[in-house]
Structure 1
Amino acid sequence: MELTVAEENYLKAIYHLSEGGKKSVSTNDIAAEMKTKAASVSDMLRKLGEKEVIEYRKYYGLQITDSGKRYALQTIRKHRLWEVFLVEKLNFAWDEVHEVAEQLEHIQSPLLIQRLDAYLNFPKFDPHGDPIPDEFGDVRARPRIQLNDMEIDQMGQIVAVKDSSAAFLRYLDKVGAYIGARIKVLDKVEFDGSLEILVDQKKTLFMSKDVASNILVLQS
């Protein structure tokens, strides 16, 4: 069975909104994510239901099926592999790759993706720190916490971002908070939750609670 580009985009959105299929999703949630009207969403859900990639009950929301998860993970895998390729081989900045990868993720060639994976030496994470599903749909997760949840004197490594918008990534580039950076929390301001952190044992940054909540850290 083949899915259209629109169907793949919806299925990927449903997968993310359902936290990997762990919970049901409402039509309004999907409409907000896809920036469209609820009526358009309902029509797409009917099509996806006919292809048995979701289970949908009006007024009760929907859940993605095992078949739907496989299709969603394939699309996510292609997207993240292309992001690695664009950054590592074509010198794109990490804030420039999302829209290009959105187009490339719909290429229907399993052999191409297998060879792309091998060419990149089988990366486990994309440039934003998100795990890349393998060809069987398995995802290598690692325990991560939000930077703003760390305590004073705790140390860790920045491994991912929750907000991958271009504006946020450019901000992180500007302040020098990058994937792989070693950090230590020096202080937390009681008034507004902002943080003072030490990056790579040499640079001190002051970071708002909102920024810190979008940075994911592997504690050491």
Structure 2
Amino acid sequence: MASPAADDYLKTVYAHTEWQDAPITPSVLAAKLGIAPSSVTEMVKKLAAAGLVSHVPYGAVRLTDAGTQRALAMVRRHRLIETWLVQEFGYAWDEVHDEAEVLEHTISDRLLEGIDERLGRPRFDPHGDAIPDADGHVEREPFVLLADAPTGHTGRVLRVDDRDPELLRALDAVGLTVESTLQLTPAGVELDGTETALPDGATDVVWLSA
């Protein structure tokens, strides 16, 4: 199962439950990968046979310990590359995902280690996602999705989902970044102390410190 496709599956399964608890189903996996459900079914069977996921027909897909370790290695590659592109090449946070999807399968372990060292071994990528260390260890503090945060809650922006580049650009336009402070007031939202109208969809892609 040493293939880029298998790595993409494992990375997607891991990322799905990183910021919420509901396990991923084959249909959701197919939608996230943009692949036909029948193709996903076949690949999940192969991953299960290789001991990388557990799955029962029509049920959730879950990583085994071996699958988790392999997924973490790919997540580390992807997020280090995104951070590298932003810090060293001036990419914006809405421009790095697709580049990283390609590069993560091509660079050597030696180059990855060099990137990590040059960047000062960062703990988070430009979107606030935790970068696993070389041993697969991940640090993350308690969080709450903005949509679920109660009125009166104040928290730092820990993470912004990177699936929608247009929404990322809209959030950037109003000044929201990782580490911004949001306060939910009866009148709306204050961003770093200033009342701000967030773009549509923002509450479903921003996570705050709990």
- Alignment of 1:200 with 2:192, yes or no, is yes
Q: 1:122 to 1:44 in 2, by over 3 A?
A: same
Name the amino acid aligned to 1:171: A
Instruction: Give 1:215's match in structure 2, choosing from 194, 206, 210.
Output: 206
TM-score, structure 1 normalization: 0.84
| CA distance, structure 1, for counterparts of residue 116 and residue 136 of structure 2 | 14
The percentage of counterpart residues that share the same residue type is 32
Q: How does 1:88-167 map to 2 (within 5 A)?
A: 88-107=87-106, 109-167=108-166
SS in 1 for 2:89: coil
Q: Aligned partners of 2:137, 2:103: CA distance in 1, in Å? A: 21
CA distance in 2, matches of 1:78, 1:70: 13
Q: What letter corresponds to residue 203 of structure 2 in structure 1?
A: A
Structure 2: 5+ residue runs without aligned partners?
A: none
How far residue 72 of structure 1 moved from its aligned partner, in angstroms, is 0.6
How far is 1:106 from its partner? 1.3
Aligned to 1:52: 51
Q: Give CA deviations for 1:95-115 in whole Å, capped at 9, x if unaligned.
A: 000000111111362222222
Which ranges in structure 1 are unaligned for 5 or more consecutive residues? Answer: 189-194
* Residues 1:116 and 1:75: Cα distance change in structure 2 (over 3 Å): same
Deviates more, 1:138-147 or 1:157-166: 157-166
Q: Which amino acid aligns with 2:196?
A: L
| Counterpart-to-counterpart distance in 2, 1:48 and 1:105 | 20
User: What RMSD over aligned residues (CA atoms) do the two structures have, in Å?
Assistant: 2.4
Q: How many residues align?
A: 209
Q: How does 1:15-94 map to 2 (within 5 A)?
A: 15-19=14-18, 25-94=24-93
Query: Would you say the 8 A contact 2:47–2:53 is kept in 1?
Result: yes
Q: Which amino acid in 1 is paired with 2:185?
A: L
Secondary structure at the residue paired with 1:206? coil
Q: Given the superposition, is the C-alpha separation of residues 47 and 207 from structure 1 closer, same or farther in structure 2, using an over 3 Å criterion?
A: same
